[in-house]
Structure 1
Amino acid sequence: MRVVRAPGGGEARGGLHRRPARRRPVNPTSPGAERPAENWRIDNPVGVVEADRATSTAAAPMLAGFSFASAVVLLTAEDKPQWTEPALTCFFLAAAALLFAVQFGNAGLMYSAGPAERLAWLPDPDNVAHVELAKRVQHRDSAVAARFRRRARACYDTGVVLLMVALTVASVPADWNVWRIVVVAVLSVVVVLELLWIVGGRTRLRARWLLPDYKSVGRRLPRPAVPPAADEPQDGEARPDRQAPS
């Protein structure tokens, strides 16, 4: 049978092209993988992991418990508000979203170990191959942690908005008075501000009076100080070509 070299590098027998065999991909986490050196991945802002930790371990559980307690109070109250059913729905949805925020946040924290903690677990921190392996694993873990954090933030934002809507709906009375008007108005403003916060934090359409950034501060970041070269004289020293003759 006549063998013809295919354009892609494979062989063709009897008019049928056979694709060349592909090489198996190298596992990027194996110590023998030859890849260029990588740096540690640093989150921006640097404190984003600690902020997510506080959200998933303190704020979200507390708000979820408050939502469940408020729903139980509405169910067992004798004098129910005018819109009890919509308020109950929002309370239970808020509690569910906040519970998922806790779960997603805790799952993301499992992959958010910093460089110092990863180096502490290495058998030989001075081994370059082990350090490079730790960096590659940290890059992979950072990608997984970022997905969990995005889901946790989405659930947390949804839960907070639903909780504020539930409080607003539960505050609507059958007979209006001045104080109840103030309560409903304040809660409505809080809902609007929370929506502005969420939209501004996810997109570039942010209100800088609510969410400041570097542009709103109006200051440029300072440039790092460059140390002088070894052959360059320090302040107060004479240059070699300008020294006075002895």
Structure 2
Amino acid sequence: MTVTEITSESHFNELTTSLPPATPITISFHTPWAAPCTQMNAVFAYLSDQFPNVSFLSVDAEALPEISETFDVSAVPFFVFVKHGKVIRELSGADPKELSTAIQELAGSSSTTSSSFPSSTASSTAPSTTSANNSTSTTASNSASTQSQPSRELSSEEDLNERLKKLVSAAPVMLFMKGTPAAPQCGFSRQLVGILREHQVRFGFFDILKDDAVRQGLKKYSDWPTFPQLYVNGELQGGLDIVKETLADDPEFFKNLNTAA
């Protein structure tokens, strides 16, 4: 069975719902900028020929953020294994043998797959959990960290909302992201940090991976289901795509904000 490249959220939904319920599905999340993905894409394609009873789906994690957020993808390469409509396993990193073993278990095969992968994919690399492949350094003049302590017990939804209200206003420009500016944990966060630095914007940040109460609560508070989220003076501006569109319409957007600050 060949690998099916998912082109949209609707394409993904239509395909997964049209398959027989018992069909094992493996989903590969990748990005074009992460080098380990190039290797694992080749391994994934090779394995699709070895396990014809498994449906192999490929998703560009950056191009289709709605699907990525559904499966809580925070690093690439990332693989999700589904059987009878339920996620039975997740795998992060670039280890061809581990991926082969996981797909073999998913397929319910008792036979072993040849370990002789194509020469370009044979070597195993360490898990790519720092998916941003960040090449820029953090400078104090460019970002002001407002990272809080680990999540505390919240007595009510009102308490959480009050906390979120203070967090989004903790700095004139606040970025809620996966990871930190020095080590983003997803491509979207990496790109938005790059945009802020390019425009020399001083910003505070909050690593939502460190506090699940904030991570889940902010989705409801802002009525915005994905991250990163950028706030200016306590008001949500949007995610990466919205910021890009805003700058396309008004290249001086951040400059004017700096002047006002």
Q: Under a length normalisation based on structure 1, what TM-score does the superposition of the two structures give?
A: 0.22
Q: Which has the larger radius of gyration?
A: 1
More strand by share: 2
Q: Under a length normalisation based on structure 2, what TM-score does the superposition of the two structures give?
A: 0.21
